[in-house]
Structure 1
């Protein structure tokens, strides 16, 4: 049967019938008479070539076809309503996929709470995480990426950014490191040591090396790894120094029994800004707004020390 031959108002009656398993209750919810709802049920049975509901004892039970329709109907109605009321959004009925890029810290430490919230309130949303790289900015522009959480010096004009917080850097070392007994880390100590750095999830190297370059200095960067937890584990069993954002050090350093030290005063790195970013065309999309607000609230709740 063609869509033009179907009265779409019947979908609301169908929703109430399949939800309540009762003509009387469905009529009350739809604010129509019971005979009118009975006529709607007859039309629906003809359209679907199925009784949809059958009496079993004193109760009405959905047929297999009725059960199948009930699984599909709420998200379908949600999508139809969104055509006419785009600023309203019902998370429970939404079905969709999003690509999100973030640091590995966000994915491992903050994403579990974020995904638990989505599974509870918006189970139809699927998330595919990607490790953020600065080159992914074009993916936001071209629609291959929906949202990103990252460190940025500046948000491009065609990208919308909401700052989550900002943070400075500090140094981590093993408790067995020769410098572990010192209270203050000098610039000479820092330069004489060998270093480990994290390459994945954004730029955690350039800020440090840029500050050193302004002093005409270059550290001994011996090892790079893509993931923070790998770097922390290596640092715990070596004499490398690891320079990371302060909030990551505070959250994870104790798990690896690492010592945390302030960077030498001469090394003026400054704070790095942490953003959620997305393309301007997604700003008014209700599902995207729900997604980014949920992630933003999760980051602020799980990482309140980000000023």
Structure 2
């Protein structure tokens, strides 16, 4: 028998009659009319070329052939029901899922502590993994489910992706307390004359945005050091006369750990940046992905 020729709803009807041993009761069980259930039984009899059920004083009793079908049909219905329920709900309290992120170093420093603190309470068996943002292949990794969310500046994630703004950040300057020339404010001329330390962390994008504005203003910074990570930045600023231009929230975090660093308003009108979370359209309705997106909004959206 070719299964493509069988309406799977008829197997559900068969299973209901087995359980109820009554056509009317089976119809009620499935929420259909009695004529519809009788019609289903008639079609089943034609397909299997067997009466399947015979009316007796004990109700509709299965024929020997139907007896052979009862277990496999019941198992098939259970498998289909289970398959349709997969990922229909998500329970953070019991999940063992590993949530994977693309996130810049700034994102890791600013977001991960608060995120992990909440997850340890709400989803104690879950895990968070942050992956390095690749030069190529990010779209494919998110499309096939290797990465749940990309958080930060990802202007190339457009077609096939959703995005949601979490917060807007601005740029600020940091310098050491007691700097010989930089006091409570900076002029544009001081800004370009003072030595700069820049961080070109992979795929962060903030320094490229700064350079773009400086070029339009025909300004050029005096760059004395380039680093690949932000962790070294506080030590460099504290012990030298260099300054740095970084996102304001990152400047706040650095200043909170170092009383020897002050935050200054940038004398150059750099544009604000929107920090967003991005996800692939395949996982827009995925309960686990949605739970994490909602959590990110709850914790970080302003």
What TM-score does the superposition give when structure 2 sets the normalisation length? 0.65
RMSD, matched Cα: 2.5
Secondary structure at 2:277 match in 1: strand
Q: Name stretches of at least 5 consecutive residues in structure 2 with no aligned partner.
A: 1-80
Instruction: Give the match's secondary structure for 2:231.
Output: helix
Q: How many residues align?
A: 219
> In 2 relative to 1, CA 136–198 (structure 1 residues): closer, same or farther, beyond 3 Å?
farther
Write the distance in 1 (CA, Å) between the matches of 2:196 and 2:174: 10
Q: How does 1:101-250 map to 2 (within 5 A)?
A: 101-132=102-133, 135=136, 137-138=138-139, 139-152=141-154, 155-181=157-183, 183-200=184-201, 202-250=204-252
Contact 1:93 1:122 in 2 (8 A): yes
CA contact (8 A) 1:153 1:272 kept: no
Superposed displacement of residue 204, structure 1? 1.8
Query: Do the aligned residues in 1 keep the contact of 2:110 with 2:253 (CA within 8 Å)?
Result: no
Which runs of 5 or more residues in structure 1 are unaligned? 1-79, 301-306
Asked if structure 2 preserves the Cα contact closer than 8 Å seen for 1:198 and 1:226, the reply is yes
Residue 98 of structure 1 and its aligned partner are, at CA, apart by: 2.5
**CA separation of 1:147 and 1:243: change in aligned 2, threshold 3 A:** same
Q: Secondary structure at the match of 2:165?
A: strand
Residues in 2 aligned to 1:274 and 1:209: alpha-carbon distance in whole angstroms: 19
Shift of 1:260: 1.4
Q: Secondary structure at the match of 2:129?
A: strand
Alignment of 1:24-103 (within 5 A): 83-84=84-85, 86-103=87-104
The change in CA–CA distance for 1:117 and 1:83 in structure 2 (over 3 A counts) is farther
Partner-residue secondary structure (3-state), 1:218 = coil
Distance 2:174 2:137 in 1: 29
Separation in 1, partners of 2:99, 2:150: 11
Q: Looking at CA atoms only, which structure, 1 or 2, has the larger radius of gyration?
A: 2
**Pair 167,204 (structure 1): closer, same or farther in 2 beyond 3 Å:** same
